[in-house]
């Protein structure tokens, strides 16, 4: 059985709150119209990942967003406060964590990102590998918050209905072989910014309304672009829960 990558802990600490007013008549946002008033909370979210490889002896390292941040067996580690994650500077990463290289710490910066997702990949070497290229272990998408906003219930319900309609529309245009709602597509939508989501919504609507004969070339181009966006952004399998407590390796 392959060794799992698990989310060991997730903690959240609020650092400040304030009333926020957004005029969505001026600021375009999918499924939002008019002036919204809400309560904004700046948060620091802290996630610890663990590559559970006991009892096998391995040197463990990490890749974040396609960049090696810790070379297994040769990595120098990070300062205790961490370093900006490649491709996501609002997230700090630290490894080894608690003096264990099979643990990776991720921490959001309060106020900088409403929702930020990272692609995390385990790297490892066996003691017999020497300086051979690192092997690839399990991977997952990990999302953190730096900002949370509570909106009026009626506004939130209206937005939920609108997004539900978008998911229903996507069901009709997603080609075979791609994940379909309910499932990864909902998670994927939450990782996109408003401009990206509006682009996807417009593409999905176009595929429903364009003339199959007269607009055949345009339909093919729009479908190809939508599929490329889906393949690039749909998150990997969510992290499983941590295993039952047991003795852990020291590397």
Beta-carbon contacts of residue 97 (< 8 Å; ≥ 6 apart): 48, 103, 104, 105
CA 185, distance to chain mean position in Å, is 12
Average of per-residue pLDDT across 213-229: 86
Domain boundaries, the chain: 5-149, 153-233
Q: Determine which of 4-18, 54-68, 195-209 has the lowest per-residue pLDDT on average.
A: 195-209
The pLDDT of residue 129 is above 80:
yes
Are the beta carbons of 30 and 197 closer than 8 angstroms?
Answer: yes
Nearest CA-CA partner of 203 in 164, 172, 236, 161: 172
Mean of pLDDT over the chain:
83
CA distance 218 to 25: 30
3-class DSSP state of 37 = strand
Per-residue tokens: 249: 């390796």
| 8 A C-beta contact, residue 47 and residue 69 | no
Task: Give the residue-averaged pLDDT of 139-150.
Answer: 91
Torsion of CA 215, 188, 156, 169, to 10 degrees: 30
Question: How would you classify residue 202: left for phi > 0, otherwise alpha for psi between -120 and 50, otherwise beta?
Answer: alpha
Pairing of strands 35-51, 135-144: unpaired
Give per-residue pLDDT as tens, 224-235. Answer: 888 777 766 655
246 band by pLDDT with thresholds 50, 70 and 90 = very low
- Of 3-12, 45-54, 101-110, 153-162, the least confident: 153-162
pLDDT digits (tens, 9 = 90+) for 62-121: 999 989 999 999 878 899 889 999 989 999 999 999 999 999 999 999 998 777 888 999
Q: In angstroms, rounded to a whole number, what is the distance separating the alpha carbons of residues 192 and 171?
A: 18
């Amino acid at each position: 059985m392959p060794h799992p990558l698990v989310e060991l802990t997730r903690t959240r600490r609020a650092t400040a709150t304030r009333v926020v007013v957004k005029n969505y008549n001026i600021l375009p946002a999918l499924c939002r119209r008019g002036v919204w008033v809400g309560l904004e909370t700046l948060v620091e979210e802290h996630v610890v990942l663990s590559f559970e490889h006991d009892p096998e002896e391995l040197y463990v390292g990490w890749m974040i967003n396609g960049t090696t941040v810790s070379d297994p067996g040769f990595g120098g580690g990070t300062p205790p406060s961490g370093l900006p994650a490649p491709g996501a500077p609002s997230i700090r990463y630290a490894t080894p964590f608690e003096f264990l290289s099979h643990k990776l710490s991720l921490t959001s910066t309060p106020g900088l990102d409403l929702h930020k997702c990272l692609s995390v990949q385990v790297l490892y070497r066996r003691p017999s590998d020497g300086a051979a290229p690192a092997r690839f272990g399990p991977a997952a998408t990990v999302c953190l918050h730096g900002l949370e906003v509570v909106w009026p219930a009626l506004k939130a319900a209206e937005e939920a209905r609108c997004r539900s309609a978008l998911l229903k529309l996507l069901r009709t245009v997603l080609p075979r072989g791609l994940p379909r709602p309910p499932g990864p597509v909902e998670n994927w939508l939450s990782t996109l910014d408003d401009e990206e989501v509006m682009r996807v919504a417009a593409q999905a609507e176009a595929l429903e309304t364009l003339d199959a004969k007269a607009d055949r070339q345009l339909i093919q181009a729009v479908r190809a672009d939508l599929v490329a966006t889906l393949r690039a952004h749909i998150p990997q399998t969510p992290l499983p829960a941590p295993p039952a407590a047991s003795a852990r390796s020291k590397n």
